[in-house]
A and B are shown apart, each in its own frame.
Chain A
């Protein structure tokens, strides 16, 4: 079946630095990908929709200048957390629709654990 991968699986960085997280669809093309963040013991919160060939669409309250999204190709979206702070520590998960007409069924990446010290 289709697989979505993320890299890295975990990262520790110092406050003030930037971190890039990659999301790849391995055996299918994804014109759209989604980025979520999840705090411990909480649900997933949608951050933004990554669109191949155009700007990302951010959810209300998500700072687009802090969370930079680039959908470089039909199989790769990147999320860059700029000037990271401890409160950005979270589990970041990406997903891609199974198909353009998937009725919303999505494949999820394994997630990236970000710890900002």
Chain B
């Protein structure tokens, strides 16, 4: 199945700063999701954006989607130490509820 692909990033930022990470994919999608994974744990759903949406907000999260460029970005504003995690985008490119995950971005927020 097709994989969403983030630009490989390992971000290290100070608490209070914003963190931005990107994701690109190859085929047409109906929606794109972002998940967070704390070290050695399962994934937590953060936000879903549909193909007819360009931007979506949820608390300190802002997601954009550019279907013409087949890319998405996740912005975390006013980062906190608790935001330290890996972040993955996932698309529905697999069909039948199957998710295709990108490579992930590791974010470290320094208190």
Contact = CB atoms under 8 A, between A and B. Distances in A.
Contacts of B100: 46
Given A32-B97, A43-B3, A105-B48, A110 B41 contact: yes
Interface residues of B, number: 28
Interface string B1-43: 1010000000000000000000000000011010100001111
Interface string B40-70: 1111110010100000000000000000000
Contact of A43 (B33, B98, B101): B101
Among A59, A95, A97, A109, residue most surrounded by chain B Cβ atoms (within 10 Å)? A95
Interface residues of B, dominant DSSP: strand
B40 to A, nearest CB: 7
B48 A103 contact: yes
Interface string B77-110: 0000000000010101010111111111010000
Interface size class on chain A is 20 to 34
B1 A46 contact: yes
Contacts of A95: 43, 99
Interface of A: 4, 6, 32, 34, 41-46, 49, 59, 91, 93, 95, 97, 102-111, 113
B97 A44 contact: no
Given A49-B96, A103-B30, 13 more contacts: A4-B42, A41-B106, A44-B88, A46-B98, A46-B100, A49-B98, A59-B1, A104-B97, A105-B45, A108-B43, A111-B40, A111-B41, A113-B40
